[in-house]
Chain A
Amino acid sequence: DTAVSQTPKYLVTQMGNDKSIKCEQNLGHDTMYWYKQDSKKFLKIMFSYNNKELIINETVPNRFSPKSPDKAHLNLHINSLELGDSAVYFCASRPSGGETQYFGPGTRLLVL
């Protein structure tokens, strides 16, 4: 009965590779988010989708491309991975009309 799930939990890869992180929520929420948490624990929003439509796009390199096939899923594809992309990536969702975001367990990405 996991609410917001992410796969994989850990991802170790080489510089220059392309990788994807998947997020699914079974809460029936309309809005989903991607956050990046750096090594100093600083948490910053990257993207937000509402009913498969992009509504927030912070200053994130073009190498990052979110995709929402349906409102229960928000995937993050990263091209040409760089060392600085190493971080924990959190997915979150929020119900329509609600203000609370529900977070997934995070995906720990390490770029070597």
Chain B
Amino acid sequence: AQSVTQPDIHITVSEGASLELRCNYSYGATPYLFWYVQSPGQGLQLLLKYFSGDTLVQGIKGFEAEFKRSQSSFNLRKPSVHWSDAAEYFCAEAKTSYDKVIFGPGTSLSVIP
């Protein structure tokens, strides 16, 4: 069965520090991959997505992610974290553009001023 793992349940970083959130997917072929962010009490907002082409994907709010087939990973990065980045981050995969999206368990990010 498809699954998405996010090994870190919770991460705390200092404001201005760099950030990397890990994600591993299970689909054997090249999946559609997404990172969503959920601020407290809010819905999910798409940060970025990948399904083909350049393996380094740029997203909104200064985030980027790199697709590594050899590691089945799609890690999210940001060079300098802002306090407003504190939120829940979800990695997700789908087999095709119209297939159901499988979400990982999420990583909660706290930012220390």
Contacts and interface: CB of A to CB of B under 8 A. Distances in A.
Contacts, number: 49
A43 B6 CA distance: 13
Contacts of A61: none
A78 B38 CA distance: 25
Interface residues of B, number: 23
A97 B32 CA distance: 13
B101 to A, nearest CB: 6
A106 B46 CA distance: 15
A99 B51 contact: yes
The 10 closest A-B pairs by CB, nearest first: A99-B97, A103-B43, A43-B103, A103-B44, A105-B43, A41-B106, A45-B100, A99-B32, A56-B100, A106-B43
Interface of B: 32, 34, 36, 38, 42-46, 49, 51, 88, 90, 94, 97-98, 100-103, 105-106, 108
Interface of A: 4, 31, 40-45, 48, 56, 58, 90, 92, 94, 97-106
